[in-house]
Structure 1
């Protein structure tokens, strides 16, 4: 099947007449008819009813017409985007990110990149977990990723930009909200703990669970939710407490307490393909270190 056959068929389908379609396409009618016949032979179905005036589409022809239009439209978009990119010589960069880094340094990083590289075509792709970023890197969907989970995959290179302190979120009426002093992880024993994201796993949720289990701390119950906003909403509704990165304090109806343990941190990690020497690696690494080092804890 050739693109010209799709164009020929669409022209006949819209003109409902071989003669008019051939004039529109600037070709003779016999070769136009042969191309449509070849197309029908390849598909094994009849697309046009030729013994009617005007020519009519069969049911299969209507389906094929709609699909052919989508293909041709997509190709035109591809041509336009490629030509525009070539004319402007814009440098493309796709950054994958987990939602929680949006509350910290990522917006600052994006602004700085656009300031120092005015011609950059910068695109953002939200990925629920840091591990999804590895797959996206391997598939070429993103160029770099900013997340929180350390990956052991040998196809990517990791740069830890900093360690962000965790804080405990609790409803104002909760017993753990009464003090302004730092809270110990041991105080989470026998509490209802809200974790996120529920899936896919492993994720930040598993990191929090392992952090507590390393100290033999067993919450009374664990409530899994899909995202940070839901977790904090449940906290505000007195549904439990939640450990979050300090930059993610996005609700004002919740009390936040620092955590005593020094190890209660969440890393901010930049990943890219191993051995990647593309133009964006150096400026992204340099700016990321500058931005996130000021936001993360020592």
Structure 2
């Protein structure tokens, strides 16, 4: 089996159509059809169900598509890191993160790691589920997110629970006192991120649903910065982790909630069962210190 077979298969699996996949790959359809038949013969199972209007993946095909993507991502990451190492003669350490954890102590961790002149730190903004896949393919070495995801190849560590606060338009009446969830439910809410969960949007909307409250969503947006821009435009409020307060965004006030026990986790994700190398041991040591600073109130 060659890598081109996997690339061809991923294109066909995503397009569900041989003609469109051939156009995407810039090859003729007959050799693509032959390659798919050869692949099925080599794997020993049917990967597609042929239908008049296109193709449908079998259960085995769905699984093979997921694995093929991971293999190609791993190859791509390996090639990229190899080039970087050859150019800079440095060890690559890649960190995945959701934006809301980057306003606290994570920049301190990056800064301290960069003191090692033999290290090149690469940052990837990824949702927690994307971090899990990136860990499995080798794109990142550690991830920081807020959602617990069960995967046999990835272990997650709860670092600490962080209070959730409200971001509201400057001068809004919600700022008169710490609002309750019932108070907030009377106003339109900007929700982030959009897209399939689990994600922070599920966490925040769940806070209302579990209390029997309806949430009035005015807008779904992709990221935190856009959500805060809409808050500043008086489109509604949004809920954010406490460390986002450091942004000092014009037109936005941050206020604690009436219930200080409403929190969101900060979670570190790593590959399961992997013996930490020297770089990972250094990162873990720095991380332990920063978490203790947070837990004991020595928050920078």
Task: Give the TM-score normalised by structure 2.
Answer: 0.66
Match of 1:120? Answer: 119
Contact 1:157 1:273 in 2 (8 A): yes
Secondary structure of residue in 2 paired with 1:197: coil
Can you give the 5+ residue segments of structure 1 that lack an aligned partner in the other structure?
1-42, 44-75
How far apart, in 2, do the equivalents of 1:122 and 1:225 lie? 29
Contact 2:81 2:92 in 1 (8 A): no
Distance 1:113 1:207, change over 3 A: same
Kindly tell me the number of residue pairs found equivalent between the two proteins. Answer: 217
Secondary structure of residue in 1 paired with 2:170: coil
Task: Give the TM-score normalised by structure 1.
Answer: 0.66
Contact 2:96 2:131 in 1 (8 A): yes
Task: Map Cα deviations across residues 124-173 of structure 1 (whole Å, 9 max, x no partner).
Answer: 1111x111100111111111111111111121111111111111111124
Choose 1 or 2 for highest CA Rg. Answer: 1
Match of 1:156? Answer: 154
How far apart, in 1, do the equivalents of 2:272 and 2:261 lie? 28
Distance 1:80 1:285, change over 3 A: closer
TM-superposed deviation, 1:222 = 4.5
Contact 1:162 1:297 in 2 (8 A): no
Distance 1:170 1:132, change over 3 A: same
Can you give the 5+ residue segments of structure 2 that lack an aligned partner in the other structure?
1-30, 32-78
Match of 2:103? Answer: 103
How far apart, in 1, do the equivalents of 2:296 and 2:174 lie? 23
- Structure 1 segments of 4+ aligned residues over 6 angstroms from their partners: 76-80
How far apart, in 2, do the equivalents of 1:78 and 1:239 lie? 43
Of residues 205, 224, 236, the one that matches 1:209 is: 205
Match of 1:136? Answer: 134
Contact 1:190 1:221 in 2 (8 A): no
Secondary structure of residue in 1 paired with 2:286: helix
How far apart, in 1, do the equivalents of 2:286 and 2:240 lie? 25
CA RMSD of aligned residues (A): 2.5
TM-superposed deviation, 1:198 = 1.0
How far apart, in 2, do the equivalents of 1:77 and 1:247 lie? 33
